Amino acid sequence: IAIANAKIAYARFEEIFSGDRWERLASGGAHEQRPLWASTGTKNPSYPDTLYVDSLIGPRTVNTVPPATLTAFLDHGATEETLRLQRDAARRELEQLARHGIRLEEVAAQLQAEGLEAFDRAFHALLDGISAKATQLGGRWFPSKPQLGEIDRSVEEALQEIHARKVVSRIWAHDHTVWSDSEREISDRLGWLHVADAMKKALRALDRFAAEVHEEGYRDALLLGMGGSSLAPEVFAKVFGPLASGGLSLTVLDTTDPEPIQSCTERLDPTRTLVIVSTKSGTTEETLSLLRHFYQWKRRSLGKGRTGEGMVAITDPGSPLQRLAEAYGFRRTFLNDPTIGGRYAALSHVGLVPAALTGMEVGRLLDRARAMADECHAQEENDAAWLGAVLAACAAQGRDKVTFSATGAIAPFLDWVEQLIAESTGKRGQGILPVVGEPMVGSDLYGDDRIFVDLRLFGDSSDNESLRTLRKAGHPVIQRWFADRYDLGREFFLWEFATAMAGHRLGIHPFNQPDVEAAKARAREAVQAYRQSGRLPEDPAHRPSGDALPTFLRQAKPGDYVALQAYVAPREDVDAALQQLRATILGTYPVATTVGYGPRFLHSTGQLHKGDGGNGLFVQIVSDAVQDLPIPDGMEDSASSITFGT
């Protein structure tokens, strides 16, 4: 059929480019568009290896022949003009095909679409390869290793042990003994190693889903989630935004403060907003409270029968959220791989469903992740293994404050890295503290508990002087370059693998979060107790005063850190005030500072705060809600026994 179709196409070519009309065009300088027979190798071994060369010979044609086929043709091909032979037989074959119900036009359209997609992927892979090589030549790591005497030797010894014990290959083999004698929450938490390959198979479905909701008039997406369910989507929303006319504007809501909840309620149109509810367990109290509020918000505009059309769930199979979504007729439930933990889920449905809705090229992101995964198979010259060894060696020698900086569009990535490291390593009386967004100060104000990591887009040389000053002062500085924003795919996987390797070196189980789970259980208990009694526990608090905070902070000693935990509405003016407070603390006391909005930080850095060596000083900033909002007791129950501001 392919040869018959080519012969009829060639006949049409000769008809178009002949006669008086064509001669007039040619005399005016027109050029004919010659038929091109593309990639004419033979894939079916039962066919002659020169079939698509021998059968497609004719004047004014082009044949792009694979090298092996060209060699075969030179050896035993037939040089006869064949395209003009048996045209009537070719027409009969095509007519017979139609009588069997096969529409050649539809087949050709599908093949053309698939071919264009393949060429597009190949073209972007070529560009990505050039970018990656340019970045490599420009120094993706600068310097490649920190030169710090004992730490440098410790890293080299660690890499030798990693190689001798075949740790990299054991990780890929899902060997739980890399981290623990028990396989509990390890053997069933390693799906992230292969998620990029798995999600490539889901790309078409994601693209169709994104196109479908846009065609139906949705213009915004509102994601409700906490911790690992919200941080990667937030990275995509901030780094990429709505990229094209087909992309939705994504808002991530991971707070219970009434002010931003009310803002979303007023700003968004319930008839044109797709609400995405994301929770691995399906039981996260904050997320389910937000779900009940926004379900009723949509119901008031759409009516009971249509509310579910604008609701989407992302959860594990068999979770309470899956059952709830089925009961209330949600538009779609994406069941995530249950062997992927929340903070390792950026490249799964958790991150990629929202990413696809923004109009991102999700396939391009996954290609970068797959390239890094391939690199992470290497037993030697493995960037992720090296990085994990550095983090662990520094932590073992007291440099357990990884101070991050990032420039430009990639800065939002740091909030995701913060949770990954803190929740993975903060347990059993130790941990690595990620310090994100801290104001830069003079190198003399940093203690010897620091290691610095700088992330930036390739070619960005801003603030290099500060990094040089830190190196001169003896601090380890690692610099990581992004070829472009889609290198997020590489970095997600690299930091996951590096964190898992650091856990191995420190003797820490990097995939569980016992204190976070306990906090979630206590939150559910507290909510239930309040509904029954109407009272909250009484805790001592200090009104702001001139000496209360300084008196508290004077306890700080080298190696400690101050965590500002702000249970207030996230706003730009609040951000600025918290940053000013951090700068003041940093300039007065020899300690690192972190900031987290509540309750968000409980699902991000909370595990480290509870599980590390106890060297944190915690300042909680609270305020009364100016405008409170009730939390519905049920999906369709207007009664409320508790509010978001409680």
pLDDT in tens, 182-195: 999 999 999 999 99
Residue 319 reports pLDDT greater than 90 = yes
What are the tens digits of pLDDT across the range 606-622? 999 999 999 999 999 98
> Which tens digits make up the pLDDT trace of 572-582?
999 999 999 99
Displacement of CA 204 from its chain's centroid (Å): 18
Report whether 510 contacts 500 (CB < 8 A). yes
Q: State residue 285 phi and psi, 5-degree precision.
A: -60, -45
- Per-residue pLDDT averaged across 200-229, rounded? 95
Amino acid at position 548, single letter = A
Q: Cα separation of 214 and 495, whole Å?
A: 33
pLDDT at 133: 63
Q: Provide CATH code, domain 192-362.
A: 3.40.50.10490
CATH 3.40.50.10490 residue ranges of the chain are: 192-362
> Contact, 262 vs 629, CB < 8 A?
yes
Please give the residue that has the higher pLDDT: either 274 or 244.
274
Place of tokens 């039981």: 283
Give the phi and the psi of residue 166 in degrees, each rounded to 5: 55, 40
In this structure, what are the phi and psi dihedrals at residue 394, rounded to the nearest 5 degrees?
Answer: -65, -45
Helical (H) or strand (E) element with 208: helix 203-215
Whether 402 has a pLDDT exceeding 50, the answer reads yes
The angle subtended at Cα 151 by Cα 150 and Cα 152, nearest 5°, is 90
CA distance 228 to 492: 13
Q: Report d(CA 204, CA 512) in Å as an integer.
A: 33
| Percent of the chain residues past pLDDT 70, beyond the cut | 95
Distance CA 174, CA 170 (A): 6
The better pLDDT of the pair 526, 262 is held by 262
Sorting pLDDT into bands at 50, 70 and 90, what band is 365? very high
Q: Is the pLDDT of residue 422 over 50?
A: yes
The string of DSSP codes covering 264-301 is HHHHS-TTSEEEEEE-SSS--HHHHHHHHHHHHHHHHH
| Token pair in block for residue 32 | 């004919």
pLDDT of amino acid 244 = 56
pLDDT band at residue 13 using 50, 70 and 90 as cut-offs: very high
Report the DSSP pairing between strands 36-38 and 616-622: unpaired
pLDDT band at 160 (very low <50, low <70, confident <90, very high): very high
Per-residue model confidence (pLDDT) at position 141: 41
Check residue 42 and give its pLDDT.
86
Q: How confident is the model at residue 52 (pLDDT cuts 50, 70, 90)?
A: very high
| Alpha-carbon span 215 to 184, nearest angstrom | 45
3-state helix, strand, coil in the chain (%, to 5): 50, 15, 35
What CA–CA distances, in Å, run from 184 to 179, 261, 423, 518, 520?
Answer: 11, 38, 17, 17, 20
Number of separate helices (H) and strands (E) present in the chain: 24, 16
pLDDT score, position 241: 80
Residue 612: closest CA among 578, 563, 565, 566: 563
Evaluate whether 232 touches 345 at the Cβ level (below 8 Å). yes
Span 281-293, average pLDDT: 95
What pLDDT is attached to residue 142? 40
Instruction: Give 250's DSSP letter.
Output: E
Give φ, ψ of 482 to 5 degrees.
-105, 130
Best-predicted range by mean pLDDT (347-356, 439-448, 505-514, 530-539)? 347-356
* Confidence band, pLDDT 50/70/90 cuts, at residue 245: low
Q: Rounded distance, CA 265 to CA 250, Å?
A: 14
Q: Give me the pLDDT at residue 427, please.
A: 92
Average pLDDT over residues 41-64: 90
Instruction: Give the SS3 label for residue 455.
Output: strand
Give the pLDDT of residue 117. Answer: 78
> What does the angle CA 165 – CA 426 – CA 417 come to, to the nearest 5 degrees?
85
pLDDT of residue 394: 95
pLDDT over 90 percentage in the chain: 70
Q: What is the pLDDT of residue 616?
A: 95
Question: What digits encode the pLDDT tens for the residues 336-352?
Answer: 999 999 999 999 999 99
Residue 420 banded pLDDT, cuts 50, 70, 90? very high
Residue with tokens 């595990």: 607
The pLDDT value recorded for residue 460 is 80
pLDDT over 80 (residue 463): no
Q: Which two tokens stand for residue 283?
A: 């039981």
> Which stretch of DSSP H or E encloses residue 325?
helix 320-327
pLDDT-derived band at 646 (thresholds 50, 70, 90) equals confident
CA angle, residues 217, 223, 228, in degrees to nearest 5? 150
Q: What is the mean pLDDT of residues 125-137?
A: 65
pLDDT at 144: 44
Helices 231-239, 488-506: crossing angle, 10 deg rounding: 150
pLDDT at 505: 97
pLDDT of residue 135: 54
Least Cα distance to 7 among 54, 47, 48, 49 occurs for 54
Give 540-545 contacts, CB < 8 A, sequence gap 24+: 541/622
- DSSP lists the bridge partners of residue 64 as 38
Give me the count of residues in the chain: 646
Residue 638 and residue 225: Cα distance in Å, rounded? 22
Instruction: Provide the pLDDT for residue 516.
Output: 76
Which whole number is the average pLDDT over 42-62? 90
Instruction: Specify the pLDDT at position 645.
Output: 84
pLDDT of residue 411: 95
Q: Given its phi and psi angles, is residue 150 left (phi above 0), alpha (psi -120 to 50 degrees) or beta?
A: alpha
H/E run at residue 189: none
Name residues whose C-beta falls within 8 Å of residue 449's C-beta, 6 or more positions apart in sequence.
398, 399, 400, 401, 558, 559, 592
Residue 607 DSSP SS3: helix
Asked if residue 291 has pLDDT above 90, the reply is yes
Residue 434 contacts residue 402 (beta carbons within 8 Å)? yes
Residue 533, pLDDT score: 79
Give CA–CA dist 72/54, Å, rounded.
11
The continuous run of DSSP H or E covering 31 comes out as: none
DSSP label of 141: B
pLDDT at 136: 53
Distance CA 149, CA 267 (A): 56
For residues 225 and 254, the answer to whether their CB atoms sit within 8 Å is yes
What tokens appear for 60 in the block? 């004014």
Instruction: Give dist(CA 113, CA 541) in Å, integer.
Output: 64
Q: What is Dmax (Cα atoms) for the chain? A: 99
* 514 pLDDT higher than 90: no
Q: Say which residue, 437 or 124, is predicted with more confidence.
A: 437
- Specify which of 417-431, 521-535, 536-550 reaches the highest per-range mean pLDDT: 417-431
